[in-house]
């Protein structure tokens, strides 16, 4: 990934899954991510916070908004104010989508916290055909950004192919976000 960063100039965001791999991951990643499975692993969260790099804190699949914000407090209490919250869906009862994307969390977080919030519709829904519209819904709701899976050959992807946009669909998404940006800024 570090070689790819040098080649294309994009920062690396990757998940830290355990304390043992933290030093190696922190050496190469620009932004450290705490995934849903570790959203309440407070020892790991505190250790990652001490590295001093920006952290994307994904919402736990069964976490309330308050529990998610309290997890972010662990980062802040370690002196790291570089926290980005990421809504990635909560567990539901319908198996048609992977999870339920909680768009309402976006304006609630904006009201309750000073922290930026992004949305990951790819992981929430698990099906590429719904990623563009839910990304736009997230932006309209006030999200500071979205993260989406993209793959030039999703059927050949080693993982997450079903939720990956083709590059041309990413272009459509970016175009649509730019078109609604002005509207969103004026919503208040």
CA distances (Å), 11 to each of 16, 28, 66, in order?
A: 16, 10, 30
**Residue 5, number of CB atoms within 10 A of its CB:** 14
- What are the pLDDT digits (tens) for 38-68? 999 999 999 999 999 999 999 999 999 999 9
Tally of structural domains, the chain = 1
Which residue matches tokens 């800024």? Answer: 185
> Which residue range is the domain that position 61 belongs to?
2-185
From 87, 53, 81, select the one nearest 68 (Cα to Cα): 87
- What are the pLDDT digits (tens) for 128-167? 999 999 999 999 999 999 999 999 999 999 988 989 999 9
- What are the pLDDT digits (tens) for 17-40? 999 999 999 999 999 999 999 999
What's the CATH code of the domain at 82? 3.20.20.70
């Amino acid at each position: 990934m570090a070689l790819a960063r040098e080649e294309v100039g994009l920062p690396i965001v990757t998940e830290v899954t355990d304390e043992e791999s933290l030093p190696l991951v922190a050496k190469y990643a620009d932004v450290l991510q705490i995934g849903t499975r570790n959203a309440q692993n407070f020892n790991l969260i505190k250790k990652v916070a001490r590295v001093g790099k920006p952290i994307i804190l994904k919402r736990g699949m069964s976490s309330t908004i308050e529990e998610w914000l309290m997890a972010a407090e662990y980062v802040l209490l370690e002196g790291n104010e570089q926290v980005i919250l990421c809504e990635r869906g909560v567990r539901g009862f319908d198996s048609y989508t992977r999870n339920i994307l909680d768009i309402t969390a976006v304006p609630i977080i904006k009201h309750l916290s000073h922290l930026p919030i992004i949305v990951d519709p790819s992981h929430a829904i698990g099906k590429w055909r719904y990623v563009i519209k839910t990304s736009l819904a997230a932006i309209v709701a006030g999200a500071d950004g979205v993260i989406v899976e993209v793959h030039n050959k999703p059927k050949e992807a080693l993982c997450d192919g079903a939720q990956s946009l083709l590059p041309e669909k990413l272009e459509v998404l970016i175009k649509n976000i730019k078109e609604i940006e002005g509207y969103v800024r004026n919503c208040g």
